[in-house]
Chains A and B, each alone.
Chain A
């Protein structure tokens, strides 16, 4: 399966992540403070990461609050 993650195509060969939560584990995003995820332009609330699927071709945005003016 392929996902578009933050504007870049990422291929998954054998172990496809099934949910947003599994994707976060796969990407080793352990520090989750200030992080949010949207799939196909819809924000996925953190409490729903475990039950929200990611499917082939989905556009995933993973953001973090950072320094800004």
Chain B
């Protein structure tokens, strides 16, 4: 199935974006990424451990095989997010950035005010911004208006596994957005990803739901299938919901006995 999609100038075939954190070891991570079918994986930007600086770490394992999406995870202000994004661009030679500006470390919810500030500055500086945001239709529209290449509302808090807590907002956001819309955060199980795709999301980004599963590699495959199923369902047009039954079998010619 050729169903490619674009974020700014970057083109992908898989609609599943996968994080690289918190796997039991590198081999499980690599096998899970492979099983997920992903093209685009997220990485974080962190201070180098000077004492262990001879290791290139995860990059030599993934940088040849996957497009990298650096994030600004852990940034609480637009200023820090902008500096982190610039470091990421220099380190990885990509204009892609997953912009996260969070408000507090208990909820990890985005800080809308700082997010908008950072998004505007980064877009103006040539970044291809994929903005992690609250499931607030107004905030999503503002991010699009600022020139973000993709808008990524959360289903529920990062790592919570609560799925999409407000599918109605997702429907509204889908109607507002012309740029790609991705579910980012809160995914617990493949049916969450399917629901997101059925609601019209262009893709799903997740990490913990795979890396934290008992069997990350088979879970990765489950997510690959779930995203494909949801995408196909969205393209195929579901039936309307009805309060009462509607028979599937023909109503004519039903056999009646004499009474």
Binding site for B on A (CB under 8 A): 5-7, 27-31, 33-38, 41, 43, 45-46, 61-69
Instruction: State whether B47 touches A34 (Cβ < 8 A).
Output: no
**For residue B58, which residues in chain A have a CB less than 8 angstroms away from its CB?**
65-67
Binding site for A on B (CB under 8 A): 19-23, 29, 42-48, 50, 53-60, 63, 68, 70-71, 73, 83-84, 86-92, 158, 206-208, 211
The 3 closest A-B pairs by CB, nearest first: A68-B44, A69-B19, A69-B207
Chain B nearest CB, measured from A30 CB (Å):
6
Which of A5, A62, A67 has its CB near the most chain B CB atoms (within 10 A)?
A67
Q: How far is the CA of A30 from the CA of B68 in the complex (A)?
A: 22
Instruction: State whether B53 touches A34 (Cβ < 8 A).
Output: no
Which of A6, A62, A63, A68 has its CB near the most chain B CB atoms (within 10 A)?
A68
**Interface of chain B: mostly helix, strand, loop or mixed:** mixed
Given A27-B50, A33-B60, verify A41-B43 contact (CB < 8 Å).
Answer: no
Instruction: State whether B53 touches A69 (Cβ < 8 A).
Output: no
Can you give 21 contacting A-B residue pairs, CB < 8 Å?
A7-B47, A28-B53, A34-B57, A35-B91, A38-B83, A38-B87, A43-B90, A61-B87, A62-B48, A63-B46, A63-B84, A64-B48, A65-B59, A65-B70, A65-B88, A66-B44, A66-B58, A67-B21, A69-B20, A69-B42, A69-B207
Q: How far is the CA of A69 from the CA of B19 in the complex (A)?
A: 4
Chain B nearest CB, measured from A39 CB (Å):
11
Which of A27, A28, A64 interacts with B46 by CB under 8 Å? A64
Q: How far is the CA of A63 from the CA of B81 in the complex (A)?
A: 14
Q: How far is the CA of A38 from the CA of B88 in the complex (A)?
A: 11
Given A33-B60, A34-B92, A45-B90, verify A65-B44 contact (CB < 8 Å).
Answer: yes
**For residue B53, which residues in chain A have a CB less than 8 angstroms away from its CB?**
27-31
Instruction: State whether B54 touches A31 (Cβ < 8 A).
Output: yes
CB-nearest residue of chain B to A32: B56
Instruction: State whether A65 touches B208 (Cβ < 8 A).
Output: no
Chain A nearest CB, measured from B42 CB (Å):
6
Given A31-B54, A33-B60, A46-B90, verify A65-B48 contact (CB < 8 Å).
Answer: no
